[in-house]
Amino acid sequence: MASNSDGLIELTNLETSKEYTKFTITYKNKHINIKYNNYFCIFDSNDIDTDELNISISKESNFDIDLIKKYIMIFFKEKNVKKVDTMNIFKREIEKTKCIVNFTNLKKHFNENKSYISSNIKELQELANSMPKELKLDYNQVYELIIREIKNVNTDLSHSNYICCDKDNYTSFNVRLKYDTGELSEKLKHSKINYFELNFKLNNILYPFVPPEISYIQPYINPNLIIAILNLNNIDSTTWNYTISLNQYIKNISSSLEPYFNTNFDNSIKKEISDIELLLIKLGQMTKISTSDITIKLNSNTKLDKKQNISSNGKYWSSGTGYGSGNSNSEWNILEFLQKQKESNNDILQILQQINQKLTISNFDFNIIFSNDILSNYIKSNFSGLTILELDKKTYIFQEILCILNKITYSVNPKSIPFKFINNIYMSMKDFVEDLINDIYSDETVLSSLNCVTKLLCDDIIKIFNFYKIFQTKITTIIPNGKTTLNVKDQYFDIVSKNQFKYNELHNHHKFIKNKASSIKPKTIMRIVSEFNSLKKNLPNNWDSSILMRVPKSNLNLITFLIVGPKDTPYHNGLFEFHAYFPDNYPQIVPKVLLDTTDGGRVRFNPNLYNCGKVCLSLLGTWAGEVSESWSPQLSTFLQVLISIQSLIFVENPYFNEPGYEKEMNTSKGKTNSFNYTDNIRLETIRVAMNNVLKNINFDESDKSNYNEFIKEHFKLKYIEICKTIEQWVDESTKQKIHMIKAYEEFIELYIKNIDSTILI
């Protein structure tokens, strides 16, 4: 034992319990008792005044043996305490933790990032409106909580898992899951692997009210399991149990993952999983490119047991048809939705940036990229149906994508790039590049409306496309001798595809001809052209119902579209023409739509389709529907308008779209009234949407821009089905049977006269 007369410090009387640790310091025959745990520390002495020291210590947010040692040295001005630690008190205290964490450096990291945290508080807390106000923490309290949580995990000897803060970051640290018993333990020992390592990222403002974000680090396991682990991040923050401690959550994850690790860990595989592979797997999981058939179920204590009161809203009709609601109050928050979308894009952007950084490493093995379809499939998904509008919204994403492709292009011998990768990139870009050349680069007005960044991106896309086009292997398909006969449905699909989207001349009968504008703002032109590029690829095309469109080249904001009446409705196979107008400030202003197929204003085909042509639809602003049903300049597109008319207005029982009539559903009165209404609509479909169309068909074969070619083929290919449908309607008709028979006879006469006279043979 060291002599006190030498001016050295002696540590004795060590006591430990679950509540605290206590020991005594003796210095020059004066004694000081020290009592502490993670939350407090008190120096007490009958020989020395410790008040000033305790006041100084009370300002600390956490206590560990290193911090206490620092205060001992300051108090006694002694530089070497370890020499007199005869009972190894400091060593014993350190050994109590499963992993040594430098809390001084964590505090330093916190102080260095205070300004950044402060600048983000407002934005993040706006997203935490569901958080109980009485439980909200400031960022200092969040820091203190996280530090305590780390200490609790590392000092809980009931399990072997621990936290490692190698990068001195208190919000992003690695969690090592250890398994000391059982079959998995033997596998790990055989492979000389000590643990499975995850990364936890905590929100430095909203924790513990939002769950940690989990990433997988090592060792190599089945990629399907990695995706399943990443899927744990899909826990909804509104159901996350913020009362569960980090220690409990880690123990929960450890026990839940053990059987999956045991099944999916092959101790014969010595391969290490690289950073780039982990990034690709994470990219695939976040973008739904990669999925897993493994579903990890955590114990129920990770989620709040919230009982949701679900009551019927009394809606009988199709939402968005104008009568689905009259209530504009909705819990759906478009700003919150856009914010979540923005956050998701930012997360993806960070992954792409990290991938780009990895590709700059000298002697990088690009085979990792080529042997994995995730990147090429992700690029393909971004270019599929891409429009200028989308490109303009996601410039940062596409900058990173093109940067990756450029690095591959200029870093790898083209002969070493697998054909599958080349073909995937080439085919994914093909449609967009063709649209660029035909619709954007060919029109100086449209081209000049592109902003500089978007224009540069387009130039780069064309350049990369041309590179892959050159090196794409030409595949020769062996075509069998003789003509292949397509069945009638395939023929119909081909006819629709051929005629679905065309440019034409503006006709004077267009219902919005008075809105013809001599000039349109470049921003509006760009939005309209962008939507047209999308419509070319996404207009519905199938046997049961299709939509076709015509666009005047000189007036892009005045269009027409044709909807083929859907199957199992009173509109089946009728042709309904609509006229639409995009106002100059579109999409800030809602598009205008009118029905032209009304027999000169004599027929009202639907409670939502007036005889004057008015289309009653929440999306068009012709009815005050719910927020989620209304037009949103940020989200809504004209394609949504088309689909809404096709699916929400042309319905099986249109009678119940009339306000108040929904109460008659499932009653004998309602069924009778509905059938009588449908019976009349069926008659008008034959008379107006079939016969009048056949009467007015244009026989000018040189006019390829209108709907004539499609109309002829529509009735020709569907003649048998139309006849069977009308015959069924005639059989079922009660009040309109005579008129319907007459209309049917007229249909056959017009068909023979104008479509196919061979039907007589």
Active site members: 616
The continuous run of DSSP H or E covering 198 comes out as: strand 196-201
Contacts 24+ apart (CB under 8 A), 289-293: 289/374, 289/377, 289/378, 289/381, 290/223, 290/227, 290/374, 291/227, 292/224, 292/225, 292/227, 292/228, 292/231, 293/224
With b for 16 or more beta-carbon neighbours within 10 A and e for fewer, the 293-309 pattern comes to ebeeeeeeebbeeeeee
Return all residues near 374 (Cβ < 8 A) that are at least 6 apart: 280, 281, 283, 284, 289, 290
Contacts of 140 (CB under 8 A, 6+ apart): 61
Written as one letter, the residue type at 515 is: N
Which tokens sit at 31?
């004694």
Q: What is the phi-psi region of residue 32: left when phi exceeds 0, alpha when psi lies from -120 to 50, beta otherwise? A: beta
Residues with Cβ within 8 Å of 13's Cβ and at least 6 positions away in sequence, in order, are: 22, 23, 24
Cβ(54)–Cβ(63) below 8 Å:
no
Residue in the structure block whose two tokens are 């290193």 = 66
Q: What is the DSSP string of 556-567?
A: TTEEEEEEEPPT
Unique residue bearing structure tokens 């309904």: 576
Residues 6+ apart with CB under 8 A from 741: 730
Cα 591–628–520 angle (5° rounding)?
20
The C-alpha atoms of residue 758 and residue 16 are separated, in whole angstroms, by: 103
DSSP code for 446: H
CA distances for 704 relative to 498, 552, 708, angstroms: 11, 13, 8
| Length reported for the chain | 761
Beta-sheet pairing, 547-552 with 501-504:
parallel
Q: Are 708 and 550 in contact (CB under 8 A)?
A: no
Q: Which residues contact 53 (CB under 8 A, 6 or more apart)?
A: 43, 71, 75
Segment holding 278, helix H or strand E: helix 275-286
Q: Which two tokens stand for residue 737?
A: 């049977």
DSSP H/E element including 283: helix 275-286
Q: What are phi and psi of 581, to 5 degrees?
A: -140, 130
Sign of CA dihedral 572, 576, 582, 583: negative
β-strands 501-504, 213-218: how paired?
unpaired
Annotate 313-342 with DSSP letters as a single string: ----S-TTSSSS-S----S--HHHHHHHHH
Burial tier of 20 (Cβ tally within 10 Å: 0-12, 13-18, 19+) = middle
User: Cα separation of 149 and 248, whole Å?
Assistant: 10
* Contact (Cβ atoms closer than 8 angstroms) between residue 298 and residue 232: yes
Q: Is the peptide bond before 211 cis (omega within 30 degrees of 0)?
A: no
Counting DSSP H helices and E strands in the chain, the numbers are 26, 13
